[in-house]
Amino acid sequence: MGTSVALTAGATDDRRVDKVEFYVDGALVGTSTTSPFSVTWNSTTVGNGAHTETAKAFDDASNVTTSSGVGFSVANFAAPTTAITSPTGGTVSGTVTVSATASAVGGLAQVEFFFDNTRFSTLTAAPFSASWNTLDQNFPAYDGSHALTTKAYDTYGQATTSAGVTVTVNNRGTTQYQATFGTPTMPLAMVYDPAGSATSKVTVTVTNTSTINWTNTLLYYRWFVADNLTTDVGSGGAIAMNLQKGKSSAPTTLTVSPPTLPAGVNSGQYQLRIDLYNSATAAWFAAKGNQPPQNPVIVNKALKTALGLERYYQYVAHDAGAGMQHLVNVANGDSILRWTPFNAPGRGLATVADFTYNSLEEHSESPAGNNMSLSISSLTRFGLPIDVHPNNSDTNTTNRWIGFTDGDGSYHKFQGNLDGSGNAYYVEPPGVHLYLRQYSTTDTTHWWAFTRPDRVTYFFNQAGYPTYVTDKNGNSLTFTLYQPPNYDNPGGPAFQITKVTDAGGRFFTINYFTKATAKKPQVRGKIASIIDHNGRELDFSYYEDGNLLSIVQKGGTNADGSFLPSRSFVFTYTTSSGAGPAIPNAADRVNPDPKTPNESTKLFSVRDPNGHETTFAYITSGQDKWKLSSMNDRAGVATNYAYNDATFTTTVTPPAPGGASRATSYVYDSDGKATAITNALQQITQIEWTADFTVSKVTEPNTSFTRYAYNNNGYLTDKYDQMSNHTALTYQNVAVDSADVAAHWCPTSGVMNGSPCAPRTTVAHISQLLTKTDPLGVANGSGYQWTFGYSPNGNLTTVRDPYQNQTTNAFNSDGTLLSVTDANQHQTQ
């Protein structure tokens, strides 16, 4: 444990805690007087073996509470030793034998072998010699310099990394398979449409660096799934590249088509590689050791039924424990998990952390694990940039649009156009109420902006990464961006968000796994921990394939001093085929092996902090592949899902107590919106929608109906109940800026340059409630009306009731409430 061991405790009181004393085996070892309460202890003052820690909390009235004891073990043995004995340097090729020595006073557990911090072997017994295949296509060591290391672990978890041995890999020798590539601009995302996909252009310059004139040499693009670089899943190009030795090609453009997404997959991450192929020898240059340009690309299927959580989709919900919820989108069978571990109120804006898992993704680009979306008060999936077009990879440079994956995994596309003066503007898709524009041409941190109808604005920098969220009073959440080296975030976004700071200066800290802390490239760049401004911590662990393994809420003590243990969610996955769990034994799913092989990205189970499992099963073939087929709740009771794609109907069959069927059927339209719900008694509720994806009419089984109308910002303007009683609401509509005018809005056709959009008539993008008239007032033509007034910033300054009694609010410059004056002129400050 060493000479500097942190002992921590949580303590609260109805007034204040003056100090906390820390004891080991009953002996006082330190005192802390400030929260978070922590001391540093020298564990070498006690012997190796079992010991007990307790804490005493003292309040300002000298009341004392002693915590329950926490047991721990001291193992102050010398750290293991290890060193590489062969090779000692020089040049290597092919498969290399790497040998090492290792020993540990506390007992040797295992020795791991690495090149460039990528593990290629693990041995638990001597002799410690491992085979390193420098041409392994999944973990290639391309020609050039590489560092070999070993890491030895003792039985107490201590680890030591050896000194590095630098070797030069040379598999190409004097052959023709030697080339360099200019730096091509790869697309961030592409759309796969079975009816005909859009293409992207990738331009590259190739140089023959060998001493041989090339013949039969062709330039290709190749697609690989993210976790298998052995066999491509699509390729194209075949452009002749017969260069003389030492010569470079002219800039050459490849027209890249996206790979075909498998049945049942709506989104996936692929690797796009540019490589050379010799048709005479049937050899790829990369397979011979020549490093190719390669980047991850998100491929989204052109679907109307999308991922994530939107108010116009219909979900079936169940609790998964400790505040986590499981939902199923009845239109596409997407199995979703949702959890909100942090919600910290702030001045104007709260800092909220949300996790959303979507089963119908495939190796999504996310720092919280495959298929797991994270948002910390962010519009986009945490850390991802918006996708701005046209860019250098676009075939059609006149097609202007911006898209993004939001915080719960839904993709939204804003179609762009040019007005008569050549100014660009963008229109929002149906159901999305955001006003997008280029905010600045000089301030790179406020380059792009999305504004909601309540004036909250999301800012992005020139590269498309999130920078600020600002409310109507200028209070901002600030995202601190860090550009990690490529080896710490291989294939990931160029920037990571390391801190989210609120308007009061309080911040959440986000830490990531790096080359130094993660053995597998699939884990590097993933989030290691999130710590809020009160010191509450979430820790993350992952399987070696990048799937999320667990989320741990760090424990402490309760208000009475009793021990509060950490709480854990544990996630396991199906096999790659989906036929069953990758970890069949339930006991092994309690603490899963991170090295579990043959996993898909589809959850088989989530275990709540009390040890109760919710399990999932999927359809494994046909056009409905990977849709959820059943869910077993924490009591082990099944809910089943059946899909009729011809009639757009999904039937949900929950448990049947007493044998009585409780099946409910949902009919949905081509956009995924529910249009009819038939309950277990065969009673039908019908739902109608507007072009902006808002509910316009609900007809109950007895044919009574309620009608609704909305303005273009999605705010309710009229409600007619079952008796036709009419409640009316009017709004003050405010333009976001001078460009927020009818000429820049979606036309009444609902289509802009071939993309659907939300028609907008006379309403600008900000709405403030002006009047609310009850049904009697509507019927009489006057009276029964509430009126509301606002400051220029949009703060609610006056509320007048139907009797003309007025309440007045005054605000500070930051939007905090200064005073309230009631209808009797009594003022509260």
d(CA 201, CA 180): 19
Contacts of 63 (CB under 8 A, 6+ apart): none
Beta carbons within 10 angstroms of residue 821's beta carbon: 16
Tell me what percent of the chain is helix, strand and coil, each rounded to the nearest 5.
Answer: 5, 50, 50
d(CA 372, CA 361): 9
d(CA 20, CA 570): 33
- Percentage of residues in the chain having pLDDT higher than 70: 97
Q: What is the pLDDT of residue 647?
A: 84
In one-letter notation, the amino acid at residue 61 is A
In one-letter notation, the amino acid at residue 497 is I
Tens digit of each residue's pLDDT (9 = 90 or more) over 712-740: 999 999 999 999 999 999 999 999 999 99
Reply yes or no on domain 5-74 having CATH 2.60.40.10.
yes
Residue 25 is given by DSSP the state T
Q: Domain spans of the chain? A: 5-74, 81-169, 179-301, 315-385+465-682, 707-828
Is pLDDT at 327 greater than 90 in this prediction? Answer: yes
Domains 81-169 and 179-301 share a fold: yes
Q: What is the pLDDT of residue 445?
A: 97
- Percentage of residues in the chain having pLDDT higher than 90: 75
Tens digit of each residue's pLDDT (9 = 90 or more) over 769-792: 999 999 999 999 888 999 999 999
Based on C-alpha coordinates, what's the Rg of the chain? Answer: 31
- 39 contacts 7 by C-beta, under 8 angstroms: yes
Contacts of 251 (CB under 8 A, 6+ apart): 182, 203, 204, 205
For strand 766-773 and strand 507-512, is the pairing parallel, antiparallel, or unpaired? unpaired
For the residues 273-294, what does the mean pLDDT come to?
A: 96
Element counts in the chain: helices (H) and strands (E): 1, 69
Best CA proximity match to 2, nearest among 74, 66, 53, 67 = 74
User: Which of 56-70, 293-307, 621-635, 728-742 shows the lowest mean pLDDT across its residues?
Assistant: 293-307
Specify the CATH number for 81-169; select among 2.30.40.10, 2.60.40.10, 3.30.413.10, 3.30.1700.10. 2.60.40.10
The CA-based diameter of the chain, rounded to the nearest angstrom, is 95
Best CA proximity match to 566, nearest among 585, 553, 575, 576 = 553
Contacts of 95 (CB under 8 A, 6+ apart): 131, 132, 133, 134, 135
Is pLDDT at 54 greater than 70 in this prediction? Answer: yes
Q: What is the pLDDT of residue 197?
A: 61
Q: What is the pLDDT of residue 624?
A: 85
Is pLDDT at 38 greater than 60 in this prediction? Answer: yes
Confidence band (pLDDT; 50, 70, 90) for 285? very high
3-state secondary structure of 251: coil
Tens digit of each residue's pLDDT (9 = 90 or more) over 98-146: 999 999 988 899 999 999 988 999 999 999 999 999 999 999 999 999 9
d(CA 481, CA 494): 10
In our burial notation (b when 16+ CB lie closer than 10 A, e otherwise), range 84-94 reads beebeeeebbe
Total residues found in the chain within this entry = 829
Indicate the CATH number for domain 179-301.
Answer: 2.60.40.10
3-state secondary structure of 644: strand
